[in-house]
Structure 1
Amino acid sequence: MPQTYSINAFAIGRGMDLTRMLKKPPFPVAEKERNLVVLQPGGESYIFAFSFGALVFFNVKNEKKVAGSFRKYAHAVIPKLIREDYSVAIGNETDAVTFDEVRIKEFSLDKLILIATVLAQSVSVEHIENVVETVLHKFERINLNLERESKLRVRGSDLIKILGTTNLILQQILSRLSLLDKPDITWDSPELETLFGHMRKMYELDDRFRAVEFKLDSIQDNSKALLSILQTRRSERLEIIIVALILIEVVLFVYELFR
């Protein structure tokens, strides 16, 4: 009869220092890869720590409290943990992915790594989605003011910060989350590749990535357009000041002539 285990994912930051973690690991290390450290607190319990700032707990009690203890390894800590709960049923006739759980035939650390990878990417993308939505709401207010009052109530420095944020998000998606790449362990195993594909489809990672990418492009285009308006206004003001100074100089010159 299949046995069901809990698996819980948390986004705790924009990155995680795995090198520092490995110098003095909080639990025994079961496996390590370039962007992943697998810890084994005991028995059939595992913690998957990803370099892009996500943690996944398999069959671990008090997982939220344990997740909090990993904040010391995180970069740009997220104030409120983003969480995703799922289940793994082990001992099925075939591997299958459903809305509530993933079913696998037998215990396999490679399969757990694949499942954990998708869950970790999902919570990290959710954090990015939240940041992008916050920025979009800011632009909505800016554009409403521009439409109603014909006034641009935003500073150039704020727009530059927004552009910096979107560039950092793009870098995180492409270089750290590797949403467009499959884990190396899938290349030599059609079974693992199929399981990974079904998990990605369940969590709609490709669609969510494209949606985030589209919104980021929109934010960047808006930022550049508004920056252009600000620069034009500043140029116009500078031209007015220069003309005014020239006029003052002419007036003073004429005044001196007729004294």
Structure 2
Amino acid sequence: MVVDNRIKEMELSYDSIKVNSLKPYYMEIVATVLAKSVALKKIEVDIDNLLDEIENIIVYLDNGKLHLSDNHLAKMSAKVLRFKYNTISYIMLLDKPDIAWKLEDAEEFFLTLSDFYELKDRYEKIRHKTEVLLDITEVFTSLTHAKRGTKLEWMVILLFIIEIIMSILEKIF
């Protein structure tokens, strides 16, 4: 943060913030916005990694194969839910710092920095990606359950056939 009393309005760049005077709440708000931005970046990277993992599963599906255990599906769903939970609860992304509720200038400074680091836009992209990921894991779960259901139906049919054969053999012998 650079204080330069010759400038009239705040100047933002990716490596500095220039202001004409230093207000007591500036550092708190800068730290808050940067922390939220870094936390969002970690979530963005993790979501992209999960999307890559799911893409590999989709390739198997393209080949007509689906080998997902319930444990693997549960872990994927937990990761997606963790992203949603972290962005809303842990990061409290949409919350303003307390000082922004008390001082209009502090709120304006917070909103300016939030817009500069595109916090809301990035949050919306994460929210959309997590919804897509949840939809995909729901499809995987449905396919896995359908596959398991089909196996069980074939087992019942096989047991029924064995029972018929045993009944016939009993009557013959």
TM-score (ref. length: structure 1): 0.63
Q: Establish whether residue 90 from structure 1 lines up as the match of residue 3 from structure 2.
A: yes
Q: Establish whether residue 121 from structure 1 lines up as the match of residue 39 from structure 2.
A: no
Query: Could you give the per-residue CA deviations for residues 69-119 of structure 1, whole angstroms, max 9, x where no partner exists?
Result: xxxxxxxxxxxxxxxxxxx11243445141231123333342100001000
Q: Which moved more, 1:218-227 or 1:165-174?
A: 165-174
CA distance in 2, matches of 1:94, 1:126: 32
Note if contact 1:146-1:152 (Cα within 8 Å) is conserved in structure 2. yes
CA distance in 1, matches of 2:77, 2:32: 29
| Higher helix content, 1 or 2 | 2
Q: Establish whether residue 144 from structure 1 lines up as the match of residue 54 from structure 2.
A: no
SS of residue matched to 1:103: strand
Identity of aligned residues (%): 26
* Mapping of residues 50-199 of structure 1, within 5 Å: 88-92=1-5, 93-99=7-13, 100-147=15-62, 149-199=63-113
TM-score (ref. length: structure 2): 0.93
CA distance in 2, matches of 1:91, 1:245: 85
Q: Which moved more, 1:90-99 or 1:230-239?
A: 90-99
Query: Could you give the per-residue CA deviations for residues 107-154 of structure 1, whole angstroms, max 9, x where no partner exists?
Result: 33421000010000001100000100000011111112211x111133
Q: What root-mean-square deviation, in Å, do the aligned CA atoms of Structure 1 and Structure 2 show?
A: 1.4
Task: Report which structure shows greater RCO (CA 8 Å, sep ≥6).
Answer: 2
Could you tell me which residue of structure 2 aligns to residue 82 of structure 1? Answer: none
* Mapping of residues 223-234 of structure 1, within 5 Å: 223-234=137-148
Note if contact 1:97-1:202 (Cα within 8 Å) is conserved in structure 2. no
SS of residue matched to 2:68: coil
Note if contact 2:25-2:99 (Cα within 8 Å) is conserved in structure 1. yes
* Structure 1 unaligned residues grouped into runs of 5+: 1-87
Note if contact 1:94-1:103 (Cα within 8 Å) is conserved in structure 2. no
Q: Could you tell me how far 1:183 is from its partner in structure 2? A: 1.1
Could you tell me which residue of structure 1 aligns to residue 121 of structure 2? Answer: 207
Note if contact 1:97-1:199 (Cα within 8 Å) is conserved in structure 2. no
Query: Could you give the per-residue CA deviations for residues 194-217 of structure 1, whole angstroms, max 9, x where no partner exists?
Result: 111110111111110000110000
Note if contact 1:95-1:104 (Cα within 8 Å) is conserved in structure 2. yes
| Higher strand content, 1 or 2 | 1
Size of the aligned set, in residue pairs, is 171
**Counterpart residue type for residue 30 of structure 2:** I
